[in-house]
Amino acid sequence: MKAGADVRRENRYGVAPISLAATNGNGPLVELLLDSGADPNRVSEGGETVLMTAAYTGSLGVVEALLRHNADPNATEHRNQTALMWAAAEGHASVVDALIDAGAMSTQSCTPVLLPCFLLFERVALGC
């Protein structure tokens, strides 16, 4: 990056460096990319944000880095799901806590098919 690499440039598949770093749970690299101008609210072609990806994989360090750089904890994808729902569905309680502390709303509605995500969210949030 010191040599002038563009941290927002996508590869030939349309994937940005921050998305790859988040997918792999590489917190230090995500932090470096964010400090170098990467977009914390980057949306993939599939509609999910980098924060959703990190929440799904349970990468607390990545989630915290994104939130420190103003990632929107209430952003939604095409089914109206949020990072909080993704973390809850995978049982990542520490990520759920971090998202709620950052202002993620557990009252967001999603399509009826996704009711199980709310039931699991209750289990995770209550420590069941």
According to CATH, what is the number of the domain 17-126?
1.25.40.20
100 near 92, Cβ under 8 Å?
no
Confidence of residue 109 (pLDDT cuts 50, 70, 90): low
- Reported pTM: 0.81
In this predicted structure, what is the pLDDT of residue 128?
47
Q: Tell me the angle at which helices 50-57 and 60-68 cross, rounded to the nearest 10 degrees.
A: 150
For residue 1, is pLDDT > 90? no
Residue that is written with structure tokens 């950052």 in the block: 102
For residue 49, report the phi and psi dihedrals to the nearest 5 degrees: -90, 165
At 123, list the tokens.
């289990």
End-to-end CA gap in the chain? 45
The domain limits of the chain are 17-126
Tell me which of 73-82, 85-94, 97-106, 108-117 is least confident: 108-117
